[in-house]
Structure 1
Amino acid sequence: MSTIAVLTDADVVRIRRRSRVAIIGGQALAGVGMGATFSAGALLATQLSGSPAWSGTATTLSTLGAAAAAIPLARLAQRSGRSPALATGSSLAALGAVVAIVATAAGLFPLFLVAMGLLGVGTAVNLQSRFAATDLSDPAKRGRDLSIVVWSTTLGAVLGPNLIGPGDTLGRSLGLPALSGVLFFALAAQVVAIVVYLVVLRPDPLRTALRLGVERGVVEVETRAEDRGGVMVGILTLAFSHATMASVMAMTPVYLVDHGATLQIVGLTISLHVAGMFALSPLWGVLSDRFGRTPVIALGQGMLLASLFMTSFGAEDSGWVLAGLIFLGLGWSAATVAASGLVADSADPLRRTVVQGRADLSMSLAGGVGAASAGVVLAAIGYAGLSLVAMALVAAVVVALVVRVVRRNSAALESGQV
């Protein structure tokens, strides 16, 4: 009777390195496609609907698509592994690109909205990828590994929007409507990502982690109770920080243009904001590993608060708004990396993927609600008022952090640990 060889430390290192390369590669590829598509989404929605009033529906549907896919993809990962889950999500996003091409060619706006929902599944894949990077992580380096995957999104965020021009040229050469050619880049990127997830992401990191836990006695349900407080604070931080970022960021271009800013200023502001969101992710990962998740979450909330003060009290000065958007990106990045690490640390190892799926669902829904409601708030009380309202979200996270620290200190005193 044949037996399966026990995993050695060398095996784990080899699988970990291969998984990291595959996840980062797939994330970068998918990011390019998603960045290109969503940059043109609002323009295509306006073009197909015939009215700028429908321009925001592309982002709304993609957000809903990401939210709807979060739990199913997490359950698929729990049941079958990361490779099939990520590949399935990318396949749905690729299908969305095909449907979007058909919709733009036929001038069918409702079908285009369906396509944007499918393309939004690609965002769910991106979110799950950061957790996939932690499946085989050394707990002491979990934040760093997670943050490197977040950082890899920078490629898509920077390169993707610049593909609109070449995509338009490609589309016109094929006889398609303006801007639709960029969808071919999204399709190609997703197809290559599927191959990476199915071929390179082997052995599957999640299944390997579970096997390793059983072999070495790491995963024991009875002795590894879930830290529900950590999970709740992590999910709350992810959701509210994302809502804060999405609401202010979504309205900044509209506000700047209405107040006479040039398109160059608008473009520079958003570019620096995106750089803040991703470029320093590895730093936050290292800091959260060394000093703990809570201090880095608190640092992120501090930067978000500083950002909101700048965009509120400096709303009439484009320089202050620019600085505010940079800090908005930095605060989001620090909070997201550290809170994702907190969720991964706190969840029961055997339920971790499902908990992570709930975190992604909460994050996507909060961002969608924040972006959708921001326009109403902007019209009612202005850009400065929107920033003041967003401070309430930051305050809620800070209160949750304080409560967690107080409870943990009290529990430690009662047990005689301090």
Structure 2
Amino acid sequence: MAQIEKLYQHYLKNPVICTDTRSITEGCLFFALKGDKFDANQFAEKAIADGAALAIIDNAAFAKGEQFILVEDVLTTLQELAKHHRKHLNIPVIGLTGSNGKTTTKELIRAVLAEHFKVFATKGNLNNHIGVPLSILSIADDIEIAVIEMGANHQKEIELLSNIAQPTHGLISNVGMAHLEGFGGFEGVKKGKAELYAYLSENNGYAFVNAANRDLTEMVDKASVKNIVRYNTTEEGAVSGVLKHSDPLIEFLWSFNGESHEAKANLTGTYNFENILAAISIGCFFGLSAEEINKGLADYFPTNNRSQLTKTEKNTVICDFYNANPSSMSAAISNLNGLTGAKKIAILGDMFELGEESASQHQRIIELALKNEIETLIFIGHHFYNTKGDFNANFFATPIEAAAFIEQQNWKDALILLKGSRGMALEQLLPLL
């Protein structure tokens, strides 16, 4: 603890953390993290030479003087420093996790709350055992409320991240067929995500819960969370909503305490409506007016390739290729089917981390897509390719092979869904569309 306090005093003088020597700033603290293919201990001396105040290392061979702080484990030290800083922050912290829609929901919450508060929200996808402590250590003294995204691919990870972020409020967007390999199946996903509810229960926190989602209501009841704020229901005092249009952008009605309001969002996909309601519910809870909430929603434009509607020179593309799993893939296909468009095309890439269920889940997505009114279906990746059988669709083992086919099509005025796991790098196909 004495060592953490010493580091914290340095941090308070210049609250900047660096883990990459390419981003060293004068007076920062450099944490020499290790990975499967790198050991930043060997760059500690360079970090000091480039201006870092201290280098935190866990290999004595690289200790070159007083500016090198030797610890047992650099990652653990980073996490402990973040926990120490969190204890000095007397602000609400909203912890957010879920199988699908985490980042979109986080950005919607940030956009709404920013109409009234000075808000910190997780940058990009810094939502793991390294990203969460870095996020906490990025929260400045003038921040009034924080939104911390927490991702996981195995059980006990949300528990770890909750103990670092120490959320006072929490939201699970949903639970679905994601990271099945690490979680050990859907029930494992539910158990892992429910670790956030368990933390809130133990620490008298508040849980925002989509009451229309049976899995979430079951999980929050099992965790015995005392403070529950429900939305998407007709309960008195709760936020409820009715979707009016989603073709292609979402328009809806929402109500709170008997008052109804019309609103729009610059998002496509009916599946995003529940994410919008979550943001509205949190806005209402923290006292924002309906005008502030609606303005926050209307001013948010997705730029992260998640449910992002993009107009190219020839077509309209739903860019949703940041990530994919069976649940989000099913929702995206169903949404495309419901949109107005003379020519609909789906370009779908492999879904990763499905373990033993990979073949069956890829086959299920193929079958689902074929049942919908989609003129052209393209499946890309070895998982889809190895499951193609006699299905009447276009299958390619790699994006490069698919690109050659796409270049020959000369599609115009088409509505195209481009979706797959991040590792498929489907963004390379966008210039062809």
Q: Give TM class, smaller chain.
A: under 0.3
Q: Which has the higher strand share?
A: 2
Which structure is higher in RCO with an 8 Å CA cutoff and minimum separation 6?
1
TM-score, length basis structure 2: 0.23
